[in-house]
Structure 1
């Protein structure tokens, strides 16, 4: 009985995920754009209301999925960053309390907010580009670069190299491409975010290098005098082996019949 109930919950949860996948992906990207605008320029009242509305929708979505999840602890483990990204905006809603205003001013909260929001955008990109690996990497790199630059600007400004969003964007782009920069963050939170951006840059650099190597090896393999066997060569070899196998089987049958 308990297992059947869990199966029914899983089916319902899967159905809700499929139904809300498109709208939640769209809202996830809007949420990220509003985060960048908030970190760099601040939100107007209208944009602030839109941000709070999206936040409320995310909370409802999270609570419904948590209720339907058969194993609550496993659900929290898989979505703990999402949960954090939903808790932090509450500091803005309840800013009438003095201690919450103090907490909101801490750079550490900005760092957590940036990382958790990037986590949501990564999930959205994964859902939209499941079979487009290289396109996914390119878009994800752009998302990390623009959002990371907004975070570095919000945390480090007005330090040299981060005194404008353009300079922070240049610095972040250099980190993502592993080129480096003469400027370095001064705050612990800025260093933490820089470390995460650098890790992402090294991971992407390895992927792009492997992709380019595979591309050029494939191009070389298409040449007639290529030292590397290509997919066409392997396919022709398989066909030849298949013909030889068929011929041998026919000869065996003839010998057996005689």
Structure 2
């Protein structure tokens, strides 16, 4: 007779399998919607949205909420699910504040910039997950794709935050150039004036620092691999090491054969 503990574990296992199956079914549609959401956010930050595009964005946002709620209901361990999706949850709540105008404070320009900052960070997180499903979490293609998203969307955010301040980033190409310089650790003479711009600048700088190290390691591995393929190079390649191991093994065999002959 099954115990209550075994029944509970079996139920959790069934719910986890159902969650995985639904995630696989919705992977491609949610992937398309994720990239569409990033595109709409970029248009909103740079030019603003028309009523039709606002309706489209609201529809995509509602689908994201339904997807999140369904996964939360099916998740066997709900607290762990929430902990691993905190940024996603916040990015889904923020549009509701702007849509329903729950308080007058959200109409203030500073509050709107703050909500935009949360929306940009949350969208970058969603873009990272979308690219991870497309290319896998490892590999140069994933890092290049993510860096492109961070560059374009980060520049749109910096332009939205800094375009109205004195001597700010007046055009999107200027913000794009500034963001590229920041990500490559070269920097520029301009420093963000708004609190939201400084916060986004800090996040972009952290990403640029991490990715710069990854690209440096990748290039070093590439050139070391090219050098290792050359038999005359100073760096020993896999073939040279394998040949050395074979020589050592053969030498040991010869020594053992010589000792056996001496004993006879």
Global fold match (TM > 0.5):
yes
Partner of 1:25: 31
What root-mean-square deviation, in Å, do the aligned CA atoms of Structure 1 and Structure 2 show?
A: 2.3
CA deviation vs aligned residue, 1:65-93 (integer Å, no higher than 9, x gap): 00001111111100011111111111232
Paired residues of 2:185 and 2:208 also in contact (CA < 8 A): yes
Contact conserved, 1:149 with 1:172, CA < 8 A, in 2? yes
Matches within 5 A, 1:50-89: 50-89=56-95
CA distance in 2, matches of 1:58, 1:97: 24
Query: What does 1:101-140 align with in structure 2 at a 5 Å threshold?
Result: 101-102=107-108, 105-130=111-136, 133-140=139-146
CA distance 1:237–1:184, shift in 2 (3 Å): same
- How big is the shift at 1:21? 1.0
Can you give the 5+ residue segments of structure 2 that lack an aligned partner in the other structure?
1-6
Is 1:179 aligned to 2:180, yes or no?
no
Contact 1:161 1:167 survives alignment (8 Å): no
Give distance in 2, aligned partners of 1:72 and 1:28. Answer: 23
Tell me what 2:176 maps to: 169
Residue in 2 aligned with 1:147? 153
Distance 1:52 1:247, change over 3 A: farther
Shift of 1:119: 0.3
Aligned length: 254
Q: Does 1:198 align with 2:208?
A: no
**Pick from 232, 248, 263: which aligns with 1:225?**
232
- CA change 1:131–1:185 in 2 (3 A) is closer
| CA-CA distance at 1:243 after TM superposition | 5.9
